[in-house]
Amino acid sequence: MRVEKHLSRVIDRDGAAHLTLIDPARQRPEIAGQIASDAATAGSDGIMVGGSTRAGGRPLDQTVRAVKEATSLPVILFPASEVDISGHADAIFFMSMLNSADPYFITGAQRLGAPLVKRFGLEALPMAYLVVEPGGAAGRVGRARLIPRDEPELAVAYALAAQYFGMRFVYLEAGSGAKMPVTVEMVKAVRKAIDVTLIVGGGIKTPKAAAERVKAGANIIVTGTLVERSANRVAKIREIVEAIKSSGGAWRTRCRRSP
Ligand code: 1GP
């Protein structure tokens, strides 16, 4: 429970947390290490490693190791399949895309990957992964039945199902590089319905967009594209982190309450 406790403590302390997503398919391991180090300097609370393309095996291991060497932040795997599991990470989002049309993404990859998670002794963080329009590569690869942007009630129904299943994290994903992040209305509606930790990511590029979603009830904001592309990476991440930390609070006592 080390990583989950860390996230929980950060949320209690700061009102919300920020995670930096590094896709091992997008850069060499040493650059990934540099991104992680910059993220730590900027105040990010952890590193997620993963993406929609299978990067398993050596490239994944090397990326995770480079990140571990560059920073003491916890490293959480964000796998696209059972191939994307590395024993060098601290934890894994043990995720199920509840709105996929393909059982492989709901329980299939999970069945294949679970024995490896056990063998590596990875901390499993049970998470519902809900893909919202436009959904991007995550939606296409995962054969998502995309949740329409203007149907918060559908997101609420999935999120509640996740909580009743015992999942402790719900991730509202608009897709990496999405033009528009998940709406504030959807974040609010899901927040109102569930007590578990709410993660929001995909298309969050500005401090304002991050802050609005924290105010609406997100406990964790994920950014990926922003950190990969940014020339002035530390400053970019720092302004997002500062916006997140100065907007939180309203949900800090509620989010960790047992259902
Ligand atoms: C993707 O939600 C994450 O899985 C991050 O999205 O790359 O748009 O920041 P961005």
Q: 201 falls in which pLDDT band (50, 70, 90)? A: very high
> From CA 161, how far away is CA 170, in angstroms rounded?
10
Q: Is the CB of 223 under 6 A from ligand 1?
A: yes
Q: How far is the CA of 75 from the CAs of 19, 66, 122, 154, in angstroms?
A: 10, 11, 11, 31
pLDDT at position 252, please?
Answer: 56
Query: Which of these, 211, 221, 220, 201, lies nearest to 247 by C-alpha position?
Result: 211
- Mean pLDDT for 61-70 is 97
The answer to whether residue 258 scores a pLDDT higher than 50 is no
Q: Are 89 and 81 in contact (CB under 8 A)?
A: no
pLDDT at position 259, please?
Answer: 40
Ligand 1 atom nearest to CA at 21: 5
Query: What are the domain boundaries of the chain?
Result: 2-257
Q: Is the CB of 139 under 6 A from ligand 1?
A: no
> From CA 129, how far away is CA 7, in angstroms rounded?
18
Q: Is the CB of 186 under 6 A from ligand 1?
A: no
Q: How far, in Å, is the centroid of ligand 1 from the Cα of 200?
A: 9
What is the model's pTM? 0.96
Contacts of 88 (CB under 8 A, 6+ apart): 61, 64, 65, 68, 75
- Mean pLDDT for 56-74 is 94
Architecture in CATH for domain 2-257: Alpha-Beta Barrel (3.20)
Query: Which of these, 12, 80, 69, 23, lies nearest to 45 by C-alpha position?
Result: 12
Q: How far, in Å, is the centroid of ligand 1 from the Cα of 1?
A: 25
Q: 184 falls in which pLDDT band (50, 70, 90)? A: very high
